[in-house]
Structure 1
């Protein structure tokens, strides 16, 4: 069983650059989870800023969520490199709540109950965060054991929060309240440093 912060010391040190996709073409207040929404008109400006931030860095492996908001950024950032599209690093599956407004979700009995207990309950005909954590943990463990030293991961805010929880052992509740990676941001996880603590 994978536990937060429990990476093996027998593998090579890994540095993971978690890149959140850029802004999306969705009205504010809409739940879009695993819906394959497109990037916003600001994509060209935002993607350039990400490329500048990553300039001079070398990555042994590039991994991306297959959803187009991540895929488009990955293909722009790394046009000459092999990109691995990984289903397990998609955002949470919100089931029947996909593309519904958060206000409507909260105003329903099941929606309010989920929001009050989101760390354990599944979404309506969708996924629960413990399930999402399990799929990300399995992928992350495989990645760490592969001996990769530097990896770029183009993914979603929820995934980045869970990586932070697993890598650093921070409580999920605090991460959702306090850790909000912006669109087009880069969050660096140094697993060598974590293992030396």
Structure 2
């Protein structure tokens, strides 16, 4: 029943160049990305962070070093980007002309990226199972150690975070492309014994405290009938 704040890495050099970075080495933050990470640090400062975990890729590590300065950040490969195979490093404008692009957009549950001799390949379904499973497992560890009110941070990538949001709203992988996750954004998800609950999505400014305050007069994971009251606690 802990709450995870899913932080997408800041604007990267690949974002600037319109490249699908995947697991390419040496993709770091731009000045814009570093500024986004610094803004995240300000937003996180009032909160007690029980644990911080990051994808091993450079753009996430750099984001974590700024946004979570002073915290011990664990590295977990399960939070890494999708393995795009032969699409790794491909210009997005070029990929958009490929027949696979429409499959990725319209039927992501069946999308598998082409093989490559150097870069690993996985389907979007495999990526989603990996990331959602990791978030569930890490959340259970955090709750067991720190209690039901614990808040933790996972620094990851666009498609992995989108897969968690799609799971939280019950859309599954079919809803992957209905979710937007911008660089430097924070998405809040509560995990309960019955379901994931989306508390906020793709936020880039504002106080985080209301996003991690959940009602106590209803069972965890149950939505308030009639909608939330707007109060905290």
Q: TM-score with structure 2 length normalisation?
A: 0.70
Which residue in 2 is equivalent to 1:5? none
- Counterpart-to-counterpart distance in 2, 1:44 and 1:176: 26
Specify every segment of 5 or more residues in structure 2 that has no aligned partner in the other structure, as ranges. 116-120, 144-149, 198-220, 224-233
1:171 shift after superposition: 3.8
Q: Is the 8 A contact 1:21 1:183 kept in 2?
A: yes
Aligned residue pairs: how many? Answer: 184
1:35 shift after superposition: 1.9
In structure 2, which of residues 6, 17, 22 is the aligned counterpart of residue 33 of structure 1?
22
In structure 2, which of residues 121, 124, 131 is the aligned counterpart of residue 136 of structure 1?
131
Q: Secondary structure at the match of 1:196?
A: coil
- Counterpart-to-counterpart distance in 1, 2:168 and 2:104: 26
Structure 2 vs 1, CA of residues 171 and 142 (structure 1 numbering), >3 Å: closer, same or farther? Answer: closer
Please tell me the root mean square deviation across aligned C-alpha atoms, in Å. 2.2
**Deviation string, structure 1 residues 74-95 (Cα, Å, up to 9, x no partner):** 1222232221101011111111
Q: Secondary structure at the match of 1:99?
A: coil
- Is 1:107 paired with 2:97? yes
- Counterpart-to-counterpart distance in 2, 1:56 and 1:70: 22
In structure 2, which of residues 56, 61, 66 is the aligned counterpart of residue 66 of structure 1?
56
Which residue in 1 is equivalent to 2:175? 174
**Deviation string, structure 1 residues 75-120 (Cα, Å, up to 9, x no partner):** 2222322211010111111111111112323434555655554321
Which residue in 2 is equivalent to 1:4? none
In structure 1, which of residues 70, 76, 89 is the aligned counterpart of residue 79 of structure 2?
89
- Counterpart-to-counterpart distance in 1, 2:101 and 2:185: 29
Which residue in 1 is equivalent to 2:227? none
- Counterpart-to-counterpart distance in 2, 1:80 and 1:55: 11
- Is 1:162 paired with 2:155? no
Structure 2 vs 1, CA of residues 56 and 118 (structure 1 numbering), >3 Å: closer, same or farther? Answer: same
Higher relative contact order (CA 8 A, sep 6+): 1
Q: TM-score with structure 1 length normalisation?
A: 0.82
1:129 shift after superposition: 0.9
Specify every segment of 5 or more residues in structure 1 that has no aligned partner in the other structure, as ranges. 1-12
Structure 2 vs 1, CA of residues 117 and 146 (structure 1 numbering), >3 Å: closer, same or farther? Answer: same
Query: For 1:7-26, what aligned pairs fall within 5 Å after superposition?
Result: 13-26=1-14
- Counterpart-to-counterpart distance in 2, 1:24 and 1:77: 15
